[in-house]
Amino acid sequence: MKNISEVLEHVKTMGIAGHIRPDGDCVGSCMALYLYIKEYYPDIRADVYLDHPKPIFSHIDCIDEIKTEADGEKNYDLFVTCDVSSRDRLAVAGDYFETAKRTVCIDHHISNMGFAQVNHVRGEVSSACEVLYGLFDPEKVNRRVATAIYTGMVHDTGVFQYSSTSPETMRIAGELMKTGVDFSRIIDESFYEKTYIQNQVMGRVLAESIMLQDGKCIVGYMRKKDMDFYGVDGKDLDGIVSQLRLTRGVKVAIFLYEVETQTFKVSLRSNGKIDVSRIAVYFGGGGHKRAAGCDLQGSMYDVINNITAEIERQMLLEQEE
């Protein structure tokens, strides 16, 4: 696919959806597509489905039009997923994907095997938002659309820091800037800013973190009862794993929190030497070389032991390669 217009011919109704626990790239890409369609294809009736996006994304236009639940039977002419790496990660409107006449997947996960009819997946690109920008007419990207795309790019590149950031990423960011996006505010308020409680929780996780494998691996964790004590949920724990990764000497950072008793959400980050997507895929998850995740069952110690054993195995393989 070269341009999104290719899949919009004869389309009258369209659904757009992202992955569970949507991050900035997911919200940004879904909303950018939604705003673009609303603006330039007014004859298409589009709906956007996202699993309760965080309030930090309220600077994106029409965020209040998001549907957080499926509502009745629908047969969309077209259903597009953005930033979704596999069918089981699709949130909220999964049934509409099945009943749609045509399905399109726009993504950038190397673990994506292509689960739609049309798959536009570019594993080398830093964000789904960047992939999506490539499908738009550049002159049609107005400030509203640009704000959504810029948000996603900022979030998935760690403010243009991760190695996935390319000269093309920066060129596009420059084009978006020309539309007048409030880039300082987007970066500060949606990416860096934390609440007092979030900072307290991060401090606690860092203080209790453990170093393993001669300091090559660091593990942080949060139990359900402690999350309840602080009154935080998974959405409040963003950024903790990135901070763990910034520990000198660490090659892989692991952060896990208890979603429900004996069920953990695991986040993995690498400094580039170890491919953490391989580890995540091994445990039924997915992601990218430097940022990946999975969901695991068992006691906290089992989860930590299983993950770190696999990391150790990968490190040994790495040495051999």
Q: Which residues bind ligand AMP (CB under 6 A)?
A: 85, 89, 267, 285-288, 291-295
293 binds, among ligand AMP, Mn ion, none (CB under 5 to 8 A by kind): ligand AMP
Q: Which residues contact 302 (CB under 8 A, 6 or more apart)?
A: none
What kind and span of H or E run contains 13? Answer: strand 13-17
Q: For residues 53 and 23, what is the distance between their CA atoms, to the nearest angstrom? A: 8
74 vs 87 by CB, closer to ligand AMP? 87
Minimum CB distance to ligand AMP smaller for 46 or for 112: 112
Shortest distance in whole angstroms from residue 320 CB to Mn ion: 31
Shortest separation between residue 97's beta carbon and ligand AMP, angstroms: 17
Shortest approach of ligand AMP to residue 85 CB, angstroms? 5
Element at 104 (helix H, strand E): strand 103-107
Confirm if 174 and 138 have CB atoms less than 8 A apart: no
Residue tagged 């009862």 (tokens): 225
Find the shortest distance in angstroms from Cβ 242 to Mn ion: 14
> For residues 101-124, b (16+ Cβ closer than 10 Å) or e, as one string?
ebbbbbbbbbbbeebbeebbbbee
List strands edge to edge, sheet with 13-17: 45-49, 13-17, 78-82, 103-107, 118-121
Q: Which does 24 bind (CB under 5 to 8 A by kind): ligand AMP, Mn ion, none?
A: none
Which of Mn ion, ligand AMP, none is residue 128 near (CB under 5 to 8 Å by kind)?
Answer: Mn ion
Indicate which of Mn ion, ligand AMP, none lies near residue 295 (CB less than 5 to 8 Å, by partner kind).
ligand AMP
Helix axes 143-157, 24-40, angle to 10 degrees: 160
Report what 291 binds from Mn ion, ligand AMP, none; CB cut-off 5-8 Å by kind.
ligand AMP
Interaction mask 76-95, Mn ion, x per CB under 5 A: -------x------------
**In the complex, least distance from residue 20 CB atom to ligand AMP, rounded to whole angstroms:** 8
Alpha helices per DSSP H over the chain: 24-40, 94-99, 128-133, 143-157, 167-178, 183-185, 196-208, 224-230, 240-245, 276-282, 300-320
Query: Looking at beta carbons only, is 77 or 275 nearer to Mn ion?
Result: 275
Q: Pick the closer one to ligand AMP by CB: 147 or 277.
A: 277
**CB-CB contact of 266 with 256 (8 Å):** yes
The token pair at 208 is 């209790």
- In the list Mn ion, ligand AMP, none, the entry touching 32 (Cβ below 5 to 8 angstroms by class) is none
Minimum CB–partner distance for residue 300 and Mn ion (Å): 25
Per-residue CA distances from 106 to 113, 171, 293 (Å): 12, 21, 20
Least separation in angstroms between residue 50's CB and Mn ion is 11
Kindly tell me which residue out of 14, 17, 26, 311 binds Mn ion, with binding defined by CB under 5 A. 26
Figure out which of the listed residues 15, 16, 21, 23 binds Mn ion, where binding follows CB under 5 A.
23
Which CB sits closer to ligand AMP, 144 or 269? Answer: 269
Q: Which residues bind Mn ion (CB under 5 A)?
A: 23, 25-26, 83, 128, 156
